Chain A
Amino acid sequence: MRVNPDMSADVLAAIWETQSQENTALQQVATGKRVNAPSDDPLAAAQMVGNQDQSKRTDQYLQNIDTLTSQLQTADGALSSVVQALTQAITLGVQGSTGTLSDGNRQQIVQNLKGIQSQLVQLANTSVGGSYLFGGTATTAPPYTLDSTSPSGVTYNGNSGTNTVQPADGLNLQTNLPGSQLFQNSGGDVFGSLQQLLTALQSGTTTDAGTATNQLRSAFDFVTGQRIFYGNGINQLSSTQTYLQQEKLTLTSQENNLVGADLTKAATDLTRAQTAHEAALAAAARILPTSLLDYLK
């Protein structure tokens, strides 16, 4: 039977084929990737779009968690100072409500309480990066100013709005409590009871001062209770962080499964392709030059 007398085209095709296998394997080993263009595996490439998006999201969530944690910690720190100031004010209130107090001492106490009042205003005006933490959603201006004409001794310039942030997909976390709710709540009015104490000490009876001190106590209890909000928030962020870090690992391993090269397999493929390539070359070297002419003298 007559066969194709010219092997060169087939031999070349075989050499190219093995060379292309070698290149593919080499590229996989070098880049660590199995999918370098969408056509290498269209489905995996399409899924990688989602994977990369999720990965970027997660990175941003983790960054957000750092920012939010620091915000919540600052707010909690401010509240902790408020609680300390209130303790001081209560002690002064107790002293002021005893009947055996000289006018001079009383004036002293009033001065101290006024100092505490402005300290509290300062704390209620705590800001992070120009954004005031206790103004509701009106965060661009200090929420509290001293105002002796007001029954509470202060004016609240903020609002009662709250912000919610997504620390992770499907999770919503309220990130602020407005000052009106924290410091002027009907369950414990920090500024109102302090002003009431000041008025009682300046112009009222010791009984009035005692009542005002009791109200300061309930304000103390209320603010202390509100710190749980921030503590919870910080805890939730911290557990979300752990979850997201886990999520990042999952995403990386998903990426690896989708487009990563199995390095062991790629290395084996490379060796195999190299052997095949060399074999093709050796065969070409042996077959191509041979013809009947070699044997005719």
Chain B
Amino acid sequence: MPGLNTSLSIAVQALAAEQGALNVTTNNIANVNTPGYSRQRPVLNEAPTFQESGTTFGGGVTLEQFQSVRDQLLQLRIYEETQQQGNSQTQLNSLNQIEGVFSDPTQGVGGALSTFFTSLSQLSTNPTDANARQQVLTAANNLANSFHQAVTSLGTISSGLDQSVPQTVDQINRLTSQIATLNGQVAQMQGLGQDPGSTQDQRDELIRQLSTLVNISVTQTEHGLTLTTANGVPLVVSSQSFALQAGTNGSTVQDVFSAQGQDITSQIQGGQLAGTLQIRDRVIPQLLASLNDLASQFASSFNAKHTAGFDTAGNVGQNFFTPPPSTTDAAANFGVAITDPTLIAASSDGSAGSNGNIARLIAIRDQQLPSGASPMDMYSNLVLQVGNFGANAKADVNATGLSLQQLTDQRSAVSGVSLDEETTNMIRYQRAYEAGARVVTTVDSMLQTLMNMGVTT
């Protein structure tokens, strides 16, 4: 038969356990708004039983440890979705800027092209009218300016993105080195059989932040996590991190290199870095190529017709536009070759008053250029491209946003701190503590009773 002292010691154990449990609750409440925090719960176990006189008695309670509640699989899904979101959000931001260049159909290259042809149409009614001729030149110069502006705007956006590459790489390196440190600590604690708790929370939160920047693949090993890019270039292996490098290395743009110096620019498929590279290396070059095609084919076709006509002096027409140097720079170098309005070759028979060649020039508007489309159709295809890029990015951002929200909800359902739950627990622990304390006083009074046995007052 255990004595009162046994009861007293069980009660004191209970007080300690409940107090420890209250600590966990306090910590949970304190971290209710900490990003990435996983709620902890106390692991309470029965203390070893003991036997006396053939009867087994309970040995009270012990607080074994604290345990974080987490779902590692969900965490991995969040990383993946975060990478996609980082990618499409970055693309959308840039595409919104790019769209501005092509959004108003009455302005820009399309509008200028249209105005250029209407100025020719006006000239056809009176080919000797000096004002009308001047207007054609003005419209042509405006067209050249619109081409230049479009190229410059795209170039500005592109170089802005280019500058952000080394910055992003710096951020990635900062994060991977922090992750490596925490990763070592986590592995160490796990090796000692402890729950890594908040250290793991911090590491996971940093991996999530890393996921917004670049695509990573996470592998769990016995020495902690291994982070690699999707193509297996190591970023973090146990407590060691491998820094990526950004550099031009002979090319005109910032490329990304692995710690071993391998160019991995084209292998980056997720996160902001991928979005940046996608716009810089795919979208903008594609749009520029379309602009260049339009500029070069239009200038060449127009020159071909223009040199078949005659100016007001009856001389054979010169090149109207500067002959495009190469298709790669045609839009940037699109220029009007003549400055004297009388040099516009409107005439088809050499007389100043003939407008025969204007009709041939205007006809280019609806003629197929070598690309197989008319100039206006080429431009409207360009607008379609821009629009589709933007619309796709918008849809991606919405889709990944929704699934990320769902995943975060799920994660929160598992690991999030519920104040209601903590309050309930708090009351539970408080009551248990009160009850334990009551046992102590009761035992005390019982001991008192025992002490006073046989004492006469």
Contacts and interface: CB of A to CB of B under 8 A. Distances in A.
A56 B376 CA distance: 13
Interface string B113-130: 111011001101111110
A49 B374 CA distance: 12
Contacts of B128: 130-131, 139-140
Interface stretch (A39-47, A86-94, A148-156, A187-195): A39-47
Contacts of A139: 127-128, 351-353
Contacts of A130: 128-129
B362 interface: yes
Given A166-B121, A291-B420, A138 B352 contact: yes
B347 A38 contact: no
B56 to A, nearest CB: 35
Contact of B413 (A3, A51, A135): A3
Nearest to A161: B349
B105 interface: yes
Interface string A52-77: 11001101110110011001000000
* Residue with the greatest number of chain B CB neighbours at <10 A, chosen from A5, A50, A51: A5
A64 B125 contact: yes
15 contacts: A37-B390, A38-B103, A42-B388, A49-B376, A53-B113, A56-B114, A60-B121, A63-B122, A136-B353, A137-B349, A137-B352, A137-B354, A139-B351, A140-B128, A166-B359
* Residue with the greatest number of chain A CB neighbours at <10 A, chosen from B102, B362, B387, B409: B387
Contact of B118 (A57, A138, A163, A292): A57
Contact of B105 (A40, A48, A132): A48
B359 A42 contact: no
B118 A296 contact: no
A178 to B, nearest CB: 10
A60 B121 CA distance: 7
Interface in B372-389: 376-377, 379-381, 383-384, 386-389
7 smallest beta-carbon distances between A and B, as pairs: A39-B390, A42-B387, A139-B353, A5-B418, A38-B387, A137-B354, A49-B380
B351 to A, nearest CB: 4
Nearest to A68: B125
Interface of A: 2-6, 9-10, 13, 36-43, 45-53, 56-57, 59-61, 63-64, 67-68, 71, 128-132, 135-140, 159, 161, 163-166, 169, 172, 175, 291-293, 296
A52 B110 contact: yes
B214 to A, nearest CB: 24
Interface in B303-338: 312
Contacts of B152: none
A137 B358 CA distance: 13
A50 B356 CA distance: 26
A128 to B, nearest CB: 8
Contact of B126 (A4, A42, A129): A129
A65 to B, nearest CB: 9
Nearest to B33: A6
B99 interface: yes
B343 interface: no
A252 to B, nearest CB: 14
B423 interface: yes
B120 to A, nearest CB: 9
B341 to A, nearest CB: 14
B103 A50 contact: no
B287 to A, nearest CB: 12
A52 B412 CA distance: 52
Nearest to B375: A53
Contacts of B122: 60, 63-64, 67
B355 A46 contact: no
A63 B122 CA distance: 8
Nearest to A169: B366
A57 B114 contact: yes
A10 B405 contact: yes
A163 to B, nearest CB: 5
Contacts of B352: 137-140
Contacts of A9: 405, 408-409, 412
Contacts of A67: 122, 125-126
Nearest to A293: B423
A5 B421 contact: yes
B99 A38 contact: yes
B390 A5 contact: no
B387 A159 contact: no
Given A138-B351, A140-B353, A161-B351, A46 B384 contact: yes
B129 A166 contact: no
A135 B353 contact: yes
Contacts of B124: 64, 163, 165-166
A47 B379 CA distance: 10
Nearest to A165: B124
B105 A56 contact: no
B110 A53 contact: yes
Contacts of A46: 380-381, 383-384, 387
Contacts of A61: 121
A4 B413 contact: yes
Given A4-B410, A38-B103, A163-B354, 14 more contacts: A37-B390, A38-B99, A38-B387, A39-B387, A45-B384, A49-B379, A67-B126, A159-B349, A159-B351, A161-B349, A163-B127, A163-B356, A164-B356, A296-B423
Contact of B412 (A6, A38, A40, A41): A6
Nearest to B409: A4
Contacts of A132: 353
A2 B71 CA distance: 14
A10 B409 contact: yes
Nearest to A51: B105
Contacts of A6: 32, 412, 416-418
Contacts of B110: 49, 52-53
Contacts of A159: 349, 351
Contacts of A38: 99, 102-103, 383-384, 386-387, 390
Contact of A292 (B387, B389, B424): B424
B47 interface: no
B105 A45 contact: yes
Contacts of A43: 384, 387
